[in-house]
Amino acid sequence: MAIKLEMLRTFRMVAEHGSLNGAAAQLGRTASAVSMMLAQLEDDIGAPLFETDRKNKLTPLGQLVFEESNRATDAFTHSVNAIRRHAVSTAGTVRIATVPSATITILPGIITAFRQIHLDVRLDISDVDSATVRQRVMTDAADIGILSAATDDPKDGNLVFEDDLGIVCRAGGALHEVVLRTDVLSWELLEHEPLIANPLCRLVGNASVSRLLAECSLEAHNTTALLSFVRAGLGATVLPRSAVQHLSGELVFLMPNDPVTKRQLRKIRPDNRHLGPAAEAFWSSLI
């Protein structure tokens, strides 16, 4: 009899629970049915997998089979989940992983236009940092990703939007007072208040920003949280102009020129699988 996936799954459960009864309860079967399948696997292999009938200690061969069973059953589960997710996506759900600044700047308008044509499509949006966006697209946890980039490198995907990075500080705060006195716009202004770090700070090619990043003790990835911290007087941060253009006068956006720094929003998709019709339609709308 050939080794079957169900045999490996049953053996894995017995090995993990250390008993037939525990495995049977997990699998929703009788202990005798589990014992019979385990015996079939051992007969096919030609050697025992457990040291005793109590099933609580693996033989050296049993340990190897246990490791391979884990790999085989995990791979099968991953494939089944990927198939089901693709089926859901084909039916009308699009999973989008995006940096927070894109969520509050470009996505509202894009979603509004998209819904005028695709009323029945469900959009599942999660805001994370750029590294996590890449990871989710690569591991099939998202259909489409929108990330921040500083260059036109093709590996960073297709350009969707570009705007200026600058310093966001509280109006009337220490940093803003320096600007009002000196009329100087430099990234070195961040020296006058604690830096509230976020991944966009790493796009700035300035030695002062690099040093402050290494020393800072507060970091956040969500744009709403960053703005709340600045309002509370905890320091200043770096954000794109588009993220703060609709804010009240309590916050100030300053654009240094040493150097002028652009932030690009770029879209990425999986290289090794096709998008469903709904995801393909949303991808095309990201222009």
- Whether residue 116 contacts residue 103, with contact meaning beta carbons closer than 8 Å, is answered with no
Residue-wise pLDDT for 179-207, tens only, equals: 999 988 999 999 999 999 999 999 999 99
Helix axes 5-17, 60-91, angle to 10 degrees: 120
For residues 92 and 52, which has the higher predicted lDDT (pLDDT)? 52
User: In terms of pLDDT, which residue wins out, 84 or 191?
Assistant: 191
User: Shortest CA distance to 58 belongs to which of 2, 24, 12?
Assistant: 12
210-252: per-residue pLDDT in tens? 999 999 999 998 888 999 999 999 999 999 998 887 777 899 9
Given pLDDT bands bounded at 50, 70 and 90, which one contains residue 61? very high
pLDDT band at 273 (very low <50, low <70, confident <90, very high): confident
Q: What is the DSSP letter of 173?
A: S
CATH number of 91-159+265-285: 3.40.190.10
Q: Which CATH architecture has domain 5-88?
A: Orthogonal Bundle (1.10)
- Beta bridge pairs of residue 2: none
Architecture of the structural domain at 163-262: 3-Layer(aba) Sandwich (3.40)
How high is the pLDDT of residue 156? 74
Asked if 263 and 100 count as a contact pair (C-beta separation under 8 A), the reply is no
Domain boundaries, the chain: 5-88, 91-159+265-285, 163-262
Indicate the average pLDDT of the chain: 89
pLDDT-above-90 percentage for the chain: 64
Residue 112's pLDDT is 95
Fold agreement between 5-88 and 163-262: no
